[in-house]
Amino acid sequence: MKLNETLENLRVSYQASSLDINDCNLNPIEQFNKWFQEAIKSQCDEPNALVLSTITDNKPRSRVVLLKGIIEGNFVFYTNYQSAKGLEIHKNPNACMNFLWLPLQRQVRIEGVLSKVSDEQSSDYFQKRPRGSQLGAIASPQSKKVNSRDDLEQLFIDTENTFSGVDQIPRPLHWGGYFLEAHYIEFWQGRSNRMHDRICFEKKNNQWERFRLAP
C-alpha cells in the first residue's frame, strides 16, 4: 500500500470516555491533576512528556520536554538556558504546552507565560538527578552545532574527568527550570463521529472562566 493510502486509511474511533463541563473541577489545575493521575494509572508512556512551543521572530517552534512539577499552580520543566528554546524564551516568554495521552484519547493544551524558577529550586532539583544526567547537562552545549558523535562523547568524558572525586556536582548556571503561568487551559476528550469534548478555562481578573468549544 502506498504511504498516502495508508495514511488515509488510518482511522481511530474515539470512544474511551467523555467530559461534561459539570464534571470538570472548577479549578483547571485540579482537573489537570486528576487527568494526570489517570494517565499514570493507564500506563501511558512518559505521561509527563509535553510538546512545548515557543516563538522567535514571529515563527513558532516545538519540541518535547518533561513536566517535573506543578508549583503553586505553575507547570515546571528544566532545560539549558543557553539552548535555542532558552534564547527564544528570553526574547518572548509566551509559550504553549501540549500533553497527549493517547490511551485515554485525551489532549491538554496550556497557554501562558514562562519565567525562570528560583536558583534554589533549580539547584535542589539538579541534585535529585542521576549523576549521568548531571554530567550530560554540563557537557552538552544544547542546540549548538557539534562536529561528530565522537566530539560529543569526548565532551562527556572531559566533564566526567573534571568531576571525578567530586561527590556533589554543582548545578551549572546555564541549566535550570522554567515555570509556565497559565492563562488558558483546554481539556480535550475524543468522542465518536469527531464530536469531541473540549472544556476550556480562561483566566480573567484572576478568576477561571469555564466554557465549552465546538470540536
Q: Are 83 and 142 in contact (CB under 8 A)?
A: yes
Instruction: Check residue 85 for interaction with ligand FMN (CB under 6 A).
Output: yes
> Binding marks (x or -) toward ligand FMN, 125..144, rule CB under 6 A?
-----------------xx-
Listed as own residue / partner, the contacts of 46-52 with beta carbons closer than 8 Å and 24 or more positions apart are 47/99, 47/101, 49/99, 50/77, 50/97, 50/98, 50/99, 51/97, 51/98, 51/99, 51/100, 52/77, 52/85, 52/95, 52/96, 52/97
> Binding marks (x or -) toward ligand FMN, 48..77, rule CB under 6 A?
-x-----------x-xxxx----------x
Looking at beta carbons only, is 90 or 212 nearer to ligand FMN? 90
CA distance 189 to 199: 9
Instruction: Check residue 46 for interaction with ligand FMN (CB under 6 A).
Output: yes
Instruction: Check residue 79 for interaction with ligand FMN (CB under 6 A).
Output: yes
Q: DSSP state, 23? A: G
Window 161-180: residues binding ligand FMN (CB under 6 A): none
Residue ranges that bind ligand FMN, judged by CB under 6 A: 46, 49, 61, 63-66, 77-80, 83-85, 142-143
